[in-house]
Amino acid sequence: MSKRIWEHPAEQPKSRKYFRSLGELDDTPEFREWVAREFPQGAAMMADEADAGQSRRDFMKLMGAATSMAGFGLASCRRPESRILPYSKNVEWVIPGKALYYATVMPKAGGCTPLVVTTFEGRPTHVQGNRLHPESNGSVDGFTQASVLDLYDPDRARDFKQGGKKSTRDEFLAFLDAHKAELTAGAGQGLALLVDAVPSPTRQRLLARVTAKFPKARVFRYEALDFDGARVATEQVFGAGVVQVPHFSVCEKIVSLDCDFLDLHRPKAGTVSRFMNGRRAMKPGDSMNRLYVFESRYSLTGGMADHRLRVHASQMMKVTVALARAVAVATGDASLTAAAAGVKLEGSYKPRADYDAFVAETAADLVASKGGRAMVLAGPQQPAAVHALVAAINAALGAYQVAAGQSVPALELQQQEAAPAGTLEELAQAVQAGSVTTLAIVSAADPCYDAPASLKWADLQKSIKTVVHVGFRDRTATARAATWSVPGTHYLEQWGDVRSMSGVYSIVQPMIMPLLGGVSDLEFLSLLASDTPLAVKVEPVAPAAPMNGAVPEESKDPGYLAVRETFAALATGEVEVAWSLALRDGLLAGTRWPAFTGALKPASVATLAGGFQDTAAPTKDAFEVTLVPDSKLWDGRYINNAWLQEMPDSISKVTWDNAALLSVRTATELGLDKYLRDEADTLVIEVGGQSVTVPVIVSPGHADHAITIALGYGQAGKGAAGPGRVGEGTGVNVYPLRATASTYWLAGAKVTVPGTKVPLATTQEHHTMYGRELIREGTAERFAETPAFATTEGMDSHIPPDYTFYKQEGRQGQIGATGGLFGTTPHLWDKQHQWGMVIDLNACIGCHSCSLACQSENNIPTVGKRQVIIGRDMNWIRMDRYFAVDVEGGKATEGKEWEYAETSGAVAGGADENSDHAGGHGSAEPARELDDPEMVVQPVACQHCEAAPCETVCPVNATVHSEDGLNLMVYNRCIGTRYCANNCPWKARRFNYFDYNKRANTEREGSLLDLHPNNLYLGPLGELKEDASLRLQRNPNVTVRMRGVIEKCTYCIQRIEAAKIDQKKTTRRQAAAAGVSDENLTVTAEDLRIPTDTVKTACQLACPSDAIVFGNLRDNNSAVSKLRGNKDIVGDEHGVDPHPRNYQTLRYIGARPRTSYLARIKNPNPALLAASPIEKRKVGQASAHM
């Protein structure tokens, strides 16, 4: 099975080793076998067949029968008749075949993500960020990017249901009329409304109308992931309704205490970019901000940290107190000293030998930037006491002040409008007291599944006489248990409004009529508050229609009317004009929350901090379990989204499941398998009287004796009673472990290893590259000394220029050369356009926005868990996550000593060593490199090599070069030999083993044709996808690939070609405007060049940190030319020099990739490096690999 391997140059002794999995690090035989097999599926498939009790021979027999049957079909073969269905009446702005873009926002708890949505003939297909919105840099997070797929989810709510039986809208309205009459008689006695935390002014207004109509009605608010701590703390420390908005762009020093502000706790869409702007390192010697992270598991924020310390989530208060003391001493802040002294701590804590020095230097560094240039952020899941103390630290540091030369403080305080509502606990008490007879749930939350176990919400809900659930998903436990289930609308098909985090009034605009005739939250509340009988049917209107005023006012969508009413009260000047502008821009300017003018109340800080209940540090007998939001499903609401399910988790690289993350040391202690492939060990966790069994993933950099599990999986039920076809049977539900909605960790967990294994699909070893390292990194200091360090180290320092195995220039017969097949022009002859891409590893945080944007733009299918396990995932952009350990030169080749290399030798004053482990980890073993590695990320897609290795091996010229430097993949020529993928050094090509787009990927049971338990394996006999609605999401400008072809990144060629065509049309229009008759028209080659930086790829637009730059290398002004340099393209005398950090991966092969990378730069604190030998070892120099 193994293929011939070209002997890469011998590795040089190195000081740093990068690896994606522990198998790769230890170079296990299993890992070697996996790598050596280009397509490792063969053996796995045979194993599967054996499992199914079938042989390959049976399969062939049946396939033969199927083929001969297809032969009969051929006899009646004739051209299929297809139809063109034009509009009957023209639709304003719609040009068939052209996209239309509308601004809207995706509402979220506490804010929104501003968007521009691409629609084709009324179908939303793709979302991107809205740069006009002050909170956005034009990027989107993964949840938002994938939300467009939810719109077309065949398993979304479609019918009105009464007691689980299908009903109709009219019946529901009749019920509502009758029920309202009953409620009115008792002034709303017994009516309760449960809403989610979307800050919608119109919804708030309608709720007020409902409570005005039913004075005794009560409103409650619930989110499964309610970050109560931060809210309670700001309320008590500052005042009710105060919100804290961080401004990263002005900060020099940032400390995160368990706050994943770059990913899961991202406050605003533009946060990452603004944080990165402080550390772009575009010139040697540029100032960079510095990030310290204290956290229990690796988060993306921890991966970006300049200094990171493993701290248990439950022990964060101890770190906060230590930091507060140090800051108080340095600033002389008496109230901070008092507050820190008032905290009662349980035992001592020392997570690492250099802990004291680490905290002292962190505090000193913060104080050095005090007065509006330093801030401390606490994770939203941390308790109020931590937030209060952190607020006091920030006050002492002057984070709420505006620094000289800046316009905003590091932390801005704003005064929100108060929107009082009860909590789920209060609602539960009211239900128990019998004072709730009617409950309307207008929320995306699913309390029957995700409410804290102690509430026993599912039972409580049953005891309520009438429960009406309005939601976009009705395959939830809550909707199923409701008396009435009303299908809700997706945010892309409804009117609405949201206050963004900083208060900007943003409009939710529908892109399409409700596909399944749903009822929006605003419409439902309007119906509830309405005084007129509802039995008259209300027809919603098309989104664009109100522009011409043709729709009579009374038949308009009530949601639209309600939003207009709110808007009229907010807008100034001519309301119609303001409305049109707001629809265009997606927001109403000048609507930020006012500034909060009060000050910190030290007494409240002292009270909150003094009331803190501390817990002892976890030990091997009492584990800590940390529950985190899932990076893909959030609280579980996206469980039926296939894109998100199949996207590898940013850190663990697990798809289709959640898993328990453990440190290497803890896993070794428990005797668990470190080398996960296909199957994972399980762990039984018992805590607080509850028990769960979870698959295990070993996660370097995790705190010891602690377990991290993501919430949101394991939603029970099968078929129609389950969460949907995609989400069914995925993961394990860990919500039952929670005591309250703000419980994020549990102490005193007992773990046992039952010894069973479960299949787990993880991609961390997929598409590995024989350990050929791609990463280069250095420190700010090194960058200042040797700017071009990335291109002068390792192999790069001694390869001859223009060295290549794959010579293509002057090659005759290259398709694309003028003069046909036997032309003589060099293959890259286009003088106007040569495309290239640069990815800044300094800015890339390793989220999966680019991958999801690519999936949405390029019609990339999902393949399902079984297919991922056998290495067939299809994502064009693979996000590599490497851990890095420091190894002393040359040792790695001799054995594995480095794995157990003790840091003790490096620690000054070995006496610290014992106290370290006694206090922190309860283990006598010394710390190991693997316990605490560095983490780096790198997105890899097709590199569009000028001398592409894939092109020389294709027997049918299905992958060739275009004249403008694209490595083309021609699906209609591809015969599926997969030679190209085999020969790609970057492993960037993906193969369609099945008709993933066309055939349902369902497990089958009990059918005669069950050759294989999966429908895909039945080939042409398999069932087609039932979910035709998903086809509506496809981008019409990209081919939907069928079985048997290779695919890969195209640099979004559809966008490039569209821009070229547009440019060709523009020149003619310009000439017409100039009054030249067309025969005298002269169009120069320069006229046909696409304007600088106007073509942007989907990944580039989605990137939250603006790390991806794409453009024309023939254009000296383009951003990509300035980063990559273009002297190799346009000649030495005309071109510009590359950025010093620019380097090509695998340059010694000579494939000349068009995608290059900028080396990563870290900005360590010199004082901390001097004080702590551990940190000095950890800080990345550069990959001296090869």
Partner 1 sequence: MLPLWVIVGVLTIGGMVTAGVTYYFTPKYTRVGYTPSQPVAFSHRIHAGQLGMDCRYCHSFVEESGHANVPATQTCWNCHQHVKKDSPNLAKVVESMETGEAIPWVKVHQVPDYAYFDHSVHVNRGVSCVDCHGRVDEMTKVSHDQPMSMSWCLDCHRAPEQKLRPLDQVTNLGWKPENVDRQALGERLKKAWNIHPPESCGACHR
Q: Which is nearer to partner 1, 72 or 87 (CB)?
A: 87
Nearer to partner 1, 903 or 1037 (CB): 1037
Beta carbon nearer to partner 1, 255 or 1053: 1053
Residues 517, 501: Cα–Cα separation, whole Å: 31
Nearer of residues 432 and 1094 to partner 1, judged by Cβ: 1094
* C-beta of 482 vs 1053, nearer to partner 1: 1053
Q: How far apart are CA 647 and CA 142, in angstroms?
A: 9
Q: Which long-range contacts (CB under 8 A, 24 or more apart) does 791-800 make?
A: 791/1142, 791/1143, 791/1147, 793/1182, 793/1183, 793/1184, 794/12, 794/1183, 794/1184, 794/1185, 794/1186, 795/9, 795/1147, 795/1148, 795/1186, 796/1143, 796/1147, 796/1148, 799/1147, 799/1148, 799/1150
Nearest distance in Å: CB 97, partner 1:
4
In the complex with partner 1, the residue whose CB is nearer, 88 or 532, is 88
Report the sign of the C-alpha dihedral through residues 828, 832, 835, 841, in that order. positive
Closest to partner 1 by CB, 476 vs 997, is 997
Cβ proximity to partner 1, 995 vs 1175, nearer residue: 995
- Which has the closest alpha carbon to 458: 476, 472, 474? 476
The Cα–Cα gap between 422 and 1072 comes to 65
DSSP-assigned letter for residue 920: I
User: Least CB distance from residue 1071 to partner 1, whole Å?
Assistant: 9
Q: Residue 356: which of 1176, 1052, 1172 has the closest Cα?
A: 1172
DSSP type of residue 760 = -
Task: Give the nearer residue to partner 1 in terms of CB position, either 212 or 1083.
Answer: 1083
- C-alpha 921/C-alpha 928 separation (Å) is 12
Per the DSSP assignment, residues forming a β-bridge with 440 are 193, 468
**For partner 1, which is the closer residue by CB, 104 or 1050?**
1050
Least distance from partner 1 to the Cβ atom of residue 77, Å: 11
Q: Which residues bind partner 1 (CB under 8 A)?
A: 79, 81-90, 95-98, 815-816, 818, 820, 960-963, 966, 968, 970-973, 1037-1040, 1050, 1053-1054, 1057, 1061, 1064-1065, 1068, 1078-1085, 1087-1088
How far is the C-alpha of 726 from the C-alpha of 584, rounded, in Å?
A: 35
Q: Do residues 487 and 516 touch, judged by C-beta distance below 8 A?
A: yes
Q: Please, which residues have CB within 8 angstroms of residue 50's CB and are 6 or more apart in sequence?
A: none
**In the complex, least distance from residue 12 CB atom to partner 1, rounded to whole angstroms:** 40
- Rounded to 10°, the helix 384-397/228-237 angle is 50
Cβ at position 89, least distance to partner 1 in Å: 5
Q: Residue ranges of the alpha helices (H) in 979-1051?
A: 979-983
Between 450 and 1047, name the residue whose CB sits nearer to partner 1.
1047
- Residue 984 beta carbon to partner 1: minimum distance, rounded to whole angstroms: 18
User: Closest CB to partner 1 among 162 and 1067?
Assistant: 1067
What minimum distance in Å lies between the beta carbon of 1080 and partner 1?
8
**In the complex, what is the shortest distance from the CB of residue 82 to partner 1, in angstroms, rounded to a whole number?**
5
Nearer to partner 1, 597 or 1082 (CB): 1082
> Considering beta carbons, is residue 76 or 572 the nearer one to partner 1?
76
Question: Contact 1051/966 with Cβ under 8 angstroms?
Answer: yes
* Min CB(554)–partner 1 separation in Å: 21
Reference 413, options 394, 436, 393, 386; nearest CA is 394
**What is the maximum alpha-carbon separation in the chain?**
93
Give least dist CB 958 to partner 1, A. Answer: 9
Nearest to partner 1 of 809, 925 (CB atom): 809
Min separation Cβ 1152 and partner 1, Å: 18
Q: Which ranges of 639-729 would DSSP assign to H, the alpha helix?
A: 642-646, 664-670
Q: Which two tokens stand for residue 442?
A: 């207008």
Of 219 and 1056, nearer to partner 1 (C-beta) is: 1056
**Residue number, 94 or 616, with CB nearest to partner 1:** 94
Which element (helix H / strand E) includes 1086? none
Give the torsion sign (CA, 564, 568, 572, 574): positive
Taking the complex as a whole, the smallest distance from the CB of residue 1034 to partner 1 amounts, in Å, to 11
- Residue whose entry in the numeric block shows the structure tokens 């009446």: 89
Alpha-carbon distance 820 to 595, whole Å?
68
| 173 beta partners | none
- Measured from the CB atom, the residue of 122 and 610 that comes closer to partner 1 is 122
Q: How far apart are CA 290 and CA 876, in angstroms?
A: 33
**d(Cα 856, Cα 149) in Å, to the nearest integer?**
8
Instruction: Kindly state the smallest distance separating residue 830's Cβ from partner 1, in Å.
Output: 9
Residue 645 three-state SS = helix
**Where is 160: in which H helix or E strand?**
strand 160-162
Minimum CB distance to partner 1, residue 977 (Å): 17
Structure tokens at 311: 């701290």
Residue among 611, 634, 207 at smallest CA distance from 420: 207
With H, G, I as helix, E, B as strand and everything else as coil, classify residue 361: helix
Q: How far apart are CA 223 and CA 727, in angstroms?
A: 20
Q: Are 505 and 497 contacting, i.e. CB atoms less than 8 angstroms apart?
A: yes
Tokens of 508: 């939710």
User: How near is the Cβ of 1057 to partner 1 at its closest, in Å?
Assistant: 7
Q: CB of 993: closest distance to partner 1 in angstroms?
A: 19
Evaluate whether 298 touches 651 at the Cβ level (below 8 Å). yes
Say how many C-beta atoms besides its own lie within 10 A of residue 44's C-beta: 16
In 452-564, DSSP assigns E strands to 466-471, 484-487, 496-499, 505-508
Q: Minimum CB separation from partner 1 for residue 490, in Å?
A: 24
Output the six-digit token pair for 714.
Answer: 């394991």
Q: Please check whether residue 696 is in contact with residue 667, taking contact to mean a CB–CB distance below 8 angstroms.
A: yes
Beta bridge partners, 1046, equal: 991
Question: Are 479 and 442 spatial neighbours (Cβ–Cβ below 8 Å)?
Answer: no
Nearest approach, Cβ of 516 to partner 1 (angstroms)? 20
